[in-house]
Chain A
C-alpha cells in the first residue's frame, strides 16, 4: 500500500465541504482612508482590520486579510438580511466593496492539522509552528490562485479560489486532504 493510501480513512481523514451558506464581500480601502475605515470597522465589528496576513472573527463575521489594504468579509447567510448592502452602507466613502460570493468558492477541511500530503503540496509552510490558527496565506496551487486560512479557533482550514476553477481545485483538495 502506498503512503497516500495508508492515510485514507485514518486519523487524518476529515470532511471536505463547500461553503454555500455565506456571503463574501471584498473590501479595499480608498487612498488615505485606512485609518477612518479601521475606526468604522471597530465600531461595527469591535475589531481592527488586520494589516498582516491574519483572519479575525468578530460580530458574526470572519475578516480575512486579502493583500495590503484589502479584506474578505465572510458572513453566514441569514433570511431577510443583505450583508453586502449593509457593509456597503457602513463603509460608504471609505472603501470599495464588491460582492464576490458568486465568484469565489470556499472549501473547508475540518481538521486541526494539515495532512502530510496537504503540507507537502503547497508552497507555504503548513507546520504547526509556522501556520498558526488565524494565519492567512495568498498563494497558488498548480497555477490556481488560492487564499488559505486557518480558522482562529484552529478547527479547520478554509481555501478560497475562483469559482471557475472550483471543480478542479475541489478534486485536488479531496486528494490532498486524505
Chain B
C-alpha cells in the first residue's frame, strides 16, 4: 500500500503509523450530556466496511499528521489531506454554524 503524502508524494506505508478514526471530535465538556459524549469519544468506534477517514502519521518522513480516506474493503486510498488543513476546515465550519 502506498500513501500519497501531500508534502512528500507517494511513499510506502512502512513510513507511516496508524492512529484510527479521524472523524472523532472531542466533545464539549460543558455540555449537559458530557459524560455520555466522552464515553463515546473514548470507547465507541464504528467498524466501517467501505471508505473511512483515518489518521496516519508520516513518522519516517515529514512528521505530518494526515487524514487518509481509505476503503477498508480493498485498501484503496481515495483522498489524503494534511490533518492541520482538515482541523482548520472543521473549526471554520463550526464557527459558521454557531
Contacts and interface: CB of A to CB of B under 8 A. Distances in A.
B56 to A, nearest CB: 15
B3 to A, nearest CB: 12
A137 B15 contact: no
A67 B15 contact: no
Interface string B32-73: 000000000000000000000000000011111000000000
Contacts of A139: 11, 15, 60-61
Which residue, B7, B8, B15, B84, has most C-beta atoms of chain A within 10 A? B8
Given A67-B64, A68-B62, A138-B62, A53 B12 contact: no
Contacts of A137: 8
Contacts of B15: 123, 139-140
A160 to B, nearest CB: 14
Interface residues of B, number: 14
B76 interface: no
- Where chain A touches its partner, the secondary structure class is loop
Contact of B7 (A53, A123, A140): A53
A67 B61 CA distance: 8
Nearest to A146: B60
A67 B63 contact: yes
A53 B8 contact: yes
Nearest to B62: A67
Contacts of A145: 60
B79 interface: no
B14 A138 contact: no
A115 B84 CA distance: 38
Contacts of A53: 7-9, 62
A140 B15 CA distance: 7
B94 to A, nearest CB: 19
B82 interface: yes
A123 B63 contact: no
A138 B61 contact: yes
Nearest to B7: A68
A102 to B, nearest CB: 21
Given A67-B64, A145-B60, 11 more contacts: A52-B7, A53-B8, A53-B62, A67-B7, A67-B61, A67-B63, A68-B64, A68-B84, A138-B8, A138-B60, A138-B61
Interface of B: 7-9, 11-12, 14-15, 60-64, 82, 84
- A-B pairs, top 5 by smallest CB distance, nearest first, are A67-B62, A140-B60, A138-B61, A123-B12, A67-B63
6 contacts: A53-B7, A53-B8, A123-B11, A137-B8, A138-B8, A145-B60
